[in-house]
A and B are shown apart, each in its own frame.
Chain A
Amino acid sequence: MKPAIIFKNVKKTYASLQAVDGISLNIPEGEFFGLLGPNGAGKSTMINMLAGLVKPTSGSISVMGYDVQASYQEARHSVGIVPQELVFDPFFNVREMLRFQAGYFGKGKENDSWIDEVIDRLDLREKAHTNMRKLSGGMKRRALIAQALVHRPPVIVLDEPTAGVDVELRQRLWSFIKELNKEGHTIVLTTHYLEEAEALCNSVAMMRSGKIVAADTTKNLLKKFASKNLKLRLDLKSNKTLPADIKRIQHEAIGQDYIFQLKKITDIAKITESLGKAKIDILDLQAVDIDLENVFLKLTGK
């Protein structure tokens, strides 16, 4: 698959801060890509450099084969950015603002039917003639997404799109973004919500202190770090200890709770059988799945 976005050894330094520290990254066309990391990891700096809002100190970035500095006009035609902050122009209504935004990209009246479609798909029809100032936060968020789509960019970048958005709207935005991806758009998402990345992204990169600490498909990453955990509360009398065969399974004891890391699911049967033989009662049993959050915490060391 041809890469939609290429970061080549990109660095960005602010005075004494190394915001992005030599990142190289390829995002293939049609990918649903998640850029994860704690606050200050450098995610927004990456997006801002991609958007041409910030110049990299060194290295190069291209979108759909266009360098964001040397061929900035073509590169900006190729990407639609949804900024993190709820910014808006207080002088205009939703439709006017979308028309202006399309116009800046050189789109004339022939683009109006697409603007109508975007308005409909984002449920903005009733608010199309409402001044931006009077929109609720959720509506402003939708208008921002619409604004990023007016010029039909093949690559769409969403910087924390669901920050401060209620659960219902979050679900709707997710399904809308998924649809865009199905239609062939390359999606880049930065998010704090790991469940969001896990539910949506085919591949993710995790950042910490301006560096990428892991980049792989979401599936591989989960597999690599995943282990099924079994949490048991055991009634261990003072004279009893764990049977020897169970002791060999990697585990962690917290009071009465024992968390066993399972290599395969059949280990559960082995553990319960052995405990039964040793006459140790199981007071409680819980299966604990590893998720992206655990991977993230392991990798970012928090």
Chain B
Amino acid sequence: MVNTRSQWIGMWTLLKKEVLRFWRVVFQTVASPVITAVLYLMIFSHVLGERVQVYEGVAYTSFLIPGLIMMSLLQNAFSNSSSSLVQSKVMGNIVFLLLTPLSYIQFFVAFLVASILRGIFVGFVIYIVALFYVDLPINHPFFVISFAILGGGLLGTFGIIAGIWSDRFDQMAAFGNFVIMPLSFLSGVFYSIHSLPEIWQSISKLNPFFYIIDGFRFGFFGQSDISPWISLSIVTIFFIVLSVIAIRMLKSGYKLRN
């Protein structure tokens, strides 16, 4: 009745459904963040492109792009799992998942991977569009891929936690507006933290988004504010901690099975 094959089919089906869910509304889930990122790119590069140089030999527009890609990737990974869960809870159709033999691990992995895929897909489209503006070589693909997967995973997991915790859309929106947005804008997407006063540099180092963006940028330019290995370790620790919280919430049935 319950064998390895059926377990795989169960998880694969949920992953497929979660991917199709965002794919069905691709204008909202992919086209819209890409347009937002391109607008940022056009405006900031127009205003600051000639005046600011962050890294030696790297144009400001080029510097900006990895940050914009990662910011969109993170926001979309968060949106995917959180909005899917809240919507299912509000509509009541979460019951179809809860009635199934899917384990909490299968549930977690399917939602997580779907979030990573959406985040990476949005990021990839922005990268392709950006290539029309600037030349953007990838010097260390390992770091680009690792930070893309880990960043998407971290925010996908955070989205699962927010989705389970929120009972209404406005509660979930509060996570976006009061947590995700400030952390994205204060993470060094538009600047290097070395340009900040000492105190803000220290505060920035408490922000996990900073490490994701800094390490991701290293993958493109081979330059970063801190070592990409340190960033990778810190992001991995954040990811593990949030995963443990999300898995425990799913295992206990918190706000889902009561």
Listed in ascending order, the chain A residues whose CB lies under 8 Å from chain B are: 51-55, 72-74, 76-77, 81, 83, 85, 87-92, 99-101, 103-108, 147
Contacts and interface: CB of A to CB of B under 8 A. Distances in A.
B100 interface: yes
A53 B98 contact: yes
Interface stretch (B8-16, B43-51, B111-119, B185-193): B8-16
Contacts of A104: 10, 13-14, 96-97, 100-102
B9 A51 contact: no
A88 B99 CA distance: 14
Interface in B95-154: 95-103
Given A55-B253, A77-B101, A89 B12 contact: no
Contacts, number: 90
Interface string B215-230: 0000000000000000
25 contacts: A51-B99, A53-B95, A53-B99, A53-B257, A54-B257, A54-B258, A76-B100, A77-B1, A83-B95, A87-B92, A91-B25, A92-B17, A100-B17, A101-B96, A104-B13, A104-B14, A104-B97, A104-B100, A104-B102, A105-B6, A105-B10, A105-B101, A106-B5, A106-B6, A107-B9
B99 A87 contact: no
Contacts of A100: 13-14, 16-17
Interface string B12-46: 11101100110011000000000000000000000
Nearest to A111: B9
Interface residues of B, number: 34
Contacts of A85: 92
A50 B25 CA distance: 36
A55 B24 CA distance: 35
B10 A106 contact: yes
A103 B20 CA distance: 14
Given A83-B95, A89-B91, 17 more contacts: A52-B99, A55-B253, A72-B101, A73-B1, A77-B2, A88-B91, A91-B25, A101-B100, A103-B10, A103-B12, A103-B16, A104-B97, A105-B10, A105-B101, A106-B7, A106-B10, A147-B96
Contacts of B10: 103-106
Contact of B2 (A52, A73, A90): A73
Nearest to A99: B13
The 10 closest A-B pairs by CB, nearest first: A106-B6, A103-B13, A73-B101, A87-B92, A104-B100, A76-B101, A89-B93, A73-B2, A106-B9, A87-B93
Nearest to B7: A106
A73 to B, nearest CB: 4
B193 to A, nearest CB: 41
Contacts of A73: 1-2, 101, 103
A105 B258 contact: no
A88 to B, nearest CB: 6
Nearest to A131: B24
A46 B152 CA distance: 40
A72 B13 CA distance: 19
A218 B93 CA distance: 34
A101 B1 CA distance: 16
Given A73-B103, A103-B9, A52 B96 contact: no
A105 B21 CA distance: 19
Given A73-B101, A76-B99, A83-B95, A107 B253 contact: no
A87 B99 CA distance: 13
B101 A106 contact: yes
Contacts of B8: 106
A46 to B, nearest CB: 15
